[in-house]
A and B are shown apart, each in its own frame.
Chain A
């Protein structure tokens, strides 16, 4: 039972992150390989506040998410005006830089030692140390992010984003400052990812730079591709599939040495397969 709770917690955190990436890729057509970096910024900022200054989780995670959003603002302004492929490379580069900073900035992040003893959130004096209680917070988060996502998609903002995805130049001709919209959604996505990062850190009670390397961003990308672009519920389903599958492998008795590599290999195969035959993903409405 507890293990099921643990799995669902992981699924919901990855789902939140995937939904944020879906806002970028699915709605706006901006491929990004840096969500893990923003999750890391949110996580480290929140964790430092929680462990050193004793700030409570909700305030700390909010500040963490804001930190991620702020960095995203700067990164967005630099990279978003570039041509698509260069912009994607730029996000990869940013992820590497962010990870290096997490690893090297020993004074704040303690580098490879990581930060342990991160407390669980405290709600009205009641600590969410029970995983089941933490799960409630996660599910509420999923619902909220889903709601935000739906709100954006159905609003006039969403329509502009979709138009940018289809044909950015045409939209620009009509007088829309497309870069402003792109930067805005980039910041929103980073904000949500930052919150997901803080949530994850509090759950594990420990973070280290290895959680935020480039392959983690690729993992987030494959969830969105699998789930389908432009579909928030697709992202949730895909997160479920891609998180549960390796756990199932644990039980099926796969030789554990191979399990980790097979998992990565399956992500790669998913990307290839879906790009070739199902570019819309499982539930998607659009293709890149």
Chain B
């Protein structure tokens, strides 16, 4: 019993000590006026999202190098502090905690996935740090906080565009194969809402990410004979697996795919027979854009491989440049940058002209595309 009392006393002393330390720490910190300015980055460096996180980091490194090389002075340089968001809630929250409270950054670029971004928002907002995502597309992020904005459009646009196309093409029943992740489910939800409003019906077969055997599910969908099948997966590899099994089972319906699949030129080429005529909607920048083609060339030269996910990487590159513009305009302060973000209008970048709306979303959306001969081409109805 004595032992327990000792422990309780120790615990109370520890609590008191920590409280005193914690509350005596932060006074008011003056706004930093000279560089190098630390810019936090939350990217999925491990886990399933690493296929996106790695190129995202690569692109930001290129952008930072370019920005810092613009003039010899270091007073406007930026320094990237990169944390692993793991594409999930706990990872994102931990990364945000560290960046906001330890590194004391005023701006964070990221997360890449909606899963690591959503829980980071309250942490950034509490620390008055602006969170700027180049790719998180969950509709749940629209208007979530004045401290959050993104230069990538919300998935609700993707769902709307595709529902409209499906309706115009006369499809009445669409069967979904949806991976249970926030992105894929979000896309399903937005398509369903739009499509049902237009009078169509949607069925859904959900599956956890670890699922690899779709045969019986495909058999079930095939037997129901829908007008088209929508494959909504988190990664193009998962979509490829489903396509392969569909073809093995001799099922070739009209396909709709999510933008992660549409945005993978290698995959489209490799599976062109299966994907001929598949419809998707992408936020796709113009590859003739000078900044974008320069970036792609530089990426290839520095890393020895083609830059993947052009859509996401163009916005990532823009994010670095945009945030530096913001710091030049209003100073290195999260609060000021958050207010400034809503004033971004027709800002020219690698991803085209960017305008941020009052709800923090990029104003402009996805364009419908169709796969012809292994390539994604704009769809005209």
Listed in ascending order, the chain A residues whose CB lies under 8 Å from chain B are: 1-3, 5-6, 8, 100, 103-104, 106, 111-114, 116-117, 129-133, 135-136, 139-140, 142-143, 146-147, 150, 154, 204-208, 210-211, 233, 250, 256-261
Residues of A close to B3: CB separation below 8 A = 150
Chain B residues 35-87 with CB under 8 Å of chain A are 45-47, 50, 54, 82-84, 86
* Interface status of B129 (Cβ within 8 A of chain A): no
Residues of B close to A154: CB separation below 8 A = 1
* Interface status of B329 (Cβ within 8 A of chain A): no
Provide 5 A-B residue pairs closer than 8 Å at the C-beta atoms, listed in order of the A residue.
A112-B182, A135-B22, A147-B4, A208-B115, A257-B54
Given A113-B185, A146-B7: A210 touches B22 (CB 8 Å cut-off): no
Residues of A close to B89: CB separation below 8 A = 114, 204, 206-208, 210-211
Query: Are A204's CB and B115's CB within 8 A?
Result: no
8 nearest A-B pairs in the assembled complex, by CB-CB distance: A2-B101, A132-B22, A206-B119, A260-B46, A3-B102, A256-B45, A112-B180, A143-B11
Residues of B close to A206: CB separation below 8 A = 89, 93, 118-119
Chain B interface main SS type:
helix
Query: Are B8's CB and A143's CB within 8 A?
Result: yes
Query: Are B126's CB and A129's CB within 8 A?
Result: yes
Partner of B46, one of A139, A208, A211, A261: A261
Given A104-B180, A259-B46: A211 touches B22 (CB 8 Å cut-off): no
Given contacts A2-B97, A116-B118, 19 further A-B contacts (CB under 8 A): A1-B21, A2-B100, A2-B102, A6-B101, A103-B180, A104-B206, A111-B206, A129-B126, A135-B22, A139-B18, A147-B4, A147-B8, A206-B89, A206-B118, A206-B119, A207-B89, A208-B88, A250-B98, A256-B46
CB distance from A92 to the nearest CB of B (A): 15
A135–B47 Cα gap in the complex (Å)?
29
Query: Are B15's CB and A140's CB within 8 A?
Result: yes
A206–B180 Cα gap in the complex (Å)?
17
Query: Are B180's CB and A111's CB within 8 A?
Result: yes
CB distance from B300 to the nearest CB of A (A): 21
A3–B163 Cα gap in the complex (Å)?
46
Residues of B close to A233: CB separation below 8 A = 7
Residues of B close to A205: CB separation below 8 A = 93, 119, 122-123
* Interface status of B30 (Cβ within 8 A of chain A): no
Listed in ascending order, the chain B residues whose CB lies under 8 Å from chain A are: 1, 3-4, 7-8, 11-12, 14-15, 18-19, 21-23, 25-26, 45-47, 50, 54, 82-84, 86, 88-90, 93-94, 97-98, 100-102, 115, 118-119, 121-123, 126, 138, 140, 180-182, 184-186, 206, 208
Residues of B close to A208: CB separation below 8 A = 88-89, 115, 182
Query: Are A113's CB and B140's CB within 8 A?
Result: yes
- How many residue pairs, one in A and one in B, have C-beta atoms under 8 Å apart? 126
User: Counting chain A CB atoms within 10 Å of each CB, which of B50, B97, B186 scores highest?
Assistant: B97
User: Counting chain B CB atoms within 10 Å of each CB, which of A150, A154, A233, A260 scores highest?
Assistant: A260
Query: Are A113's CB and B15's CB within 8 A?
Result: no
Query: Are B18's CB and A135's CB within 8 A?
Result: yes
Query: Are A257's CB and B180's CB within 8 A?
Result: no
Residues of A close to B86: CB separation below 8 A = 260
A233–B3 Cα gap in the complex (Å)?
11
Residues of A close to B82: CB separation below 8 A = 256
Residues of A close to B54: CB separation below 8 A = 257
Residues of B close to A116: CB separation below 8 A = 118-119, 121-122, 140
Query: Are A132's CB and B84's CB within 8 A?
Result: no
Partner of A260, one of B47, B126, B184: B47
CB distance from B360 to the nearest CB of A (A): 15
A132–B101 Cα gap in the complex (Å)?
12
Residues of B close to A106: CB separation below 8 A = 185
Residues of B close to A114: CB separation below 8 A = 89, 115, 118-119, 182
Partner of B97, one of A6, A103, A139, A259: A6
A140–B83 Cα gap in the complex (Å)?
31
Residues of B close to A103: CB separation below 8 A = 180, 208
Partner of B185, one of A6, A111, A257: A111
A48–B172 Cα gap in the complex (Å)?
36
A5–B119 Cα gap in the complex (Å)?
18
A1–B19 Cα gap in the complex (Å)?
11
A258–B90 Cα gap in the complex (Å)?
18
Query: Are B126's CB and A5's CB within 8 A?
Result: no
Residues of B close to A211: CB separation below 8 A = 89-90
Query: Are A146's CB and B90's CB within 8 A?
Result: no
Query: Are B118's CB and A204's CB within 8 A?
Result: no
Residues of B close to A136: CB separation below 8 A = 15, 18-19
Query: Are B118's CB and A3's CB within 8 A?
Result: no
A261–B101 Cα gap in the complex (Å)?
26
A139–B126 Cα gap in the complex (Å)?
23
Chain A, residue nearest B127 (CB): A2
Query: Are A1's CB and B25's CB within 8 A?
Result: yes
Chain B, residue nearest A130 (CB): B22
Partner of A257, one of B15, B45, B122: B45
Residues of B close to A147: CB separation below 8 A = 4, 8
Chain B, residue nearest A117 (CB): B122
A217–B105 Cα gap in the complex (Å)?
34
